[in-house]
Amino acid sequence: MHGLIQVDSLSKAFRRHVKDEGLLGSLKGLFNRRYEETRAVDAISFCVGEGELVGFLGPNGAGKTTTLKMLSGLLHPTSGMARVLGHTPWERKDAFRRQFALVMGNKSQLWFDIPAMDSLRLNKEIYGVDERAFKASVGELAEMLDVQGQMNVPVRNLSLGERMKMELIASLLHRPKVLFLDEPTIGLDVISQKKIRAFLKAYNQATRTTILLTSHYMEDIRALCERVMVISQGRLVYDGPLKGIASRAGRYKMLKATFTQPVPLKALARLGKASQEEEGRVAIKVPAAKATVAARELLTRFPVADITIEDPPVEDLVRQLFEKARASRAQEKARP
């Protein structure tokens, strides 16, 4: 296995006490405690090479953040192996900590009551960045993110988008070789999201920094990642090109048709699953192998003004992967 990030059969289980309700349940718990184990990450393996920007997808509770925390050394795994930049992350050696950064969209590393520049200077001392390199890095990153005028504004007075830009500057100040991003655009408006994406793409191309990105926004993944990993209930269910998800999730096509006069959805049922998108326009979900035949029948039997055959939305395909993985896991648990 080769790459800056190497993961082999990595697992993390959490054990929690289960208590029956009421006073009697509390008393029972004193003498006969019951525990329930949850496998947040279940024997996942993957490798990420230098300069890759990989999307890490999964529903809430799938194990994305737990995986990033193990790779950054914040959590010890239950079993398995991981190597990041040649180091075992949870050993937390200084040589490792100086070469990576973790940005979490719902947690801040900046002090809210002081300007961002003061927090950046604190990071400068922590990472031992000399003054000349510090000024060069801050100047370059602030220009790329267009926040030169906000560097001396108290963090609490910045917008959410500006704060995230400052978080990125703080994390990249020491020029890490690996960057873990956990929901960096969460809660941001559309314009701020777009600017963050543009910055990450340009930074990755310019520096060849290896980036592992989790996000609930498929637009982040579409704009930035050629390769994606999909995790569901702690298990890796897909690792490959973003375009390849379609073949894994089950192939179908969407016929998008505009009619010259109203057509009831019931009349289209024999072709596939039809839904109204907007007035006069209908989407019909059909098996990929039958898309051409369905389109021909649609043109022959109905007053079609315009028709297109499209791939399904990536969001739908990813959702299918989640559903298949949950069903498979449920079957495993049901076996004697």
* pLDDT more than 90, % of the chain: 46
Predicted local distance difference test score (pLDDT) of residue 55: 93
Predicted local distance difference test score (pLDDT) of residue 322: 66
What's the average model confidence in pLDDT over 161-190? Answer: 92
Q: Examine the pLDDT at 170 and tell me if it is beyond 90.
A: yes
Lowest-pLDDT choice from 4-18, 61-75, 307-321: 307-321
Q: Examine the pLDDT at 251 and tell me if it is beyond 80.
A: no
What are the helix (H) ranges across 208-313?
218-224, 245-249, 291-301
Contacts of 126 (CB under 8 A, 6+ apart): none
Q: Which CATH number fits domain 5-246: 3.40.50.300, 2.40.10.120, 3.40.50.150, 3.90.580.10?
A: 3.40.50.300
More confident residue, 16 or 266: 266
Interval 215-242: pLDDT, tens: 877 788 888 998 999 888 888 888 988 8
Contacts of 299 (CB under 8 A, 6+ apart): 307
Candidates 46, 2, 54, 1; CA nearest to 236 is 46
Nearest-angstrom CA–CA distance, 228 and 287: 24
Structure confidence at residue 263 as a pLDDT band (50, 70, 90): confident
Average pLDDT across the chain, whole number: 86
Q: Examine the pLDDT at 16 and tell me if it is beyond 80.
A: no
**Residue 249 vs residues 38, 252, 304: alpha-carbon distances, Å:** 26, 9, 30
Residue 323 amino acid letter: E
In the chain, list all ranges with CATH 3.30.70: 251-314
Q: Which CATH number fits domain 251-314: 3.30.70, 1.20.1050, 1.10.3470, 1.10.1060?
A: 3.30.70
Predicted local distance difference test score (pLDDT) of residue 227: 92
In the chain, list all ranges with CATH 3.40.50.300: 5-246
